[in-house]
Structure 1
């Protein structure tokens, strides 16, 4: 009982819920609350009513409504029938690879990481291909960056 009173005295404004719980438990508490100057809560002997509001069952928002930026553009492209908007599913085959006819690598940026599977190697040789003149791989093939619009 004293812990409840201590909580009441420490609080700047006693909560109605705490006081209503205390008044329901003890009849003697009402007189104590009147002595402390909390008459308006001491007189509340009635039970506390519960108010409810009807909950409307709403559907979850569609992913397209929530998406923004690149994710939304990617979803729009997939709806239009483009199954691979980033072009990651296809492997680019090397062209002739000569200096006057280099293999074109599409990119929306100024640089791209390219892996060349040279003649009898099991592992790709990786190189940074940047905007500008064609770049030569160790095996002798030339690659050039081709500008494409971003997704």
Structure 2
């Protein structure tokens, strides 16, 4: 123990490790360090109490339903999902080409005046992209198939 005291007296400022080693020992040395005021130096004192956590109980009846908070198209989608329509935008349905003749074109549904359409022609790996517009009527792809825009009601109208 005398080596600890000699190191403590020689050091200009006591290290945290040295002070923690000294303050952990019981007896005369501990009381002597307390008198010198070194017991609290360098983090050797007891750690501060943990910060209390405050929670507020929430009743399930106090929570607001998502449908009450939703507005616009999101609310309409939720209503359609309740009615059984899980895909109101028809993303999962791939439109298969019909005969593709000029008098019997493949109909592409759209709620807008124009729509971008990709045609997978014969042996091509990449689709050929084209814009279909309502006023134009049937439009021909490079492979010879005809497409026309079909008017469907938008999702947000009832």
Place the TM-score, normalised by the shorter chain, in its bin: 0.5 to 0.7
Name the TM-score, length of structure 1 as normaliser: 0.62
- Report the counterpart of residue 57 of structure 1 in structure 2: 58
Residue of structure 2 in register with 1:146 after alignment: 150
- What CA deviation, in whole Å up to 9, does each residue of 1:69-128 have, x standing for no partner? 000001100110001000111100000000000000000000001010000000111111
Greater Cα radius of gyration, structure 1 or 2: 2
Alignment of structure 1 residues 4-83 onto 2, 5 Å:
57-58=58-59, 59-83=62-86
The equivalences for 1:44-123 within 5 A come to: 57-58=58-59, 59-123=62-126
Instruction: Return the alpha-carbon distance in structure 2 between the equivalents of residues 123 and 61 of structure 1.
Output: 47
Which stretches of structure 1, 4 residues or more, deviate above 4 A after TM superposition? none
TM-score by length of 2: 0.59
Partner residue of 1:124? 127
Cα distance in 2, alignment partners of residues 123 and 60 from structure 1: 49
Structure 2: runs of 5 or more not aligned: 1-55
Count of residue pairs brought into register by the alignment: 97
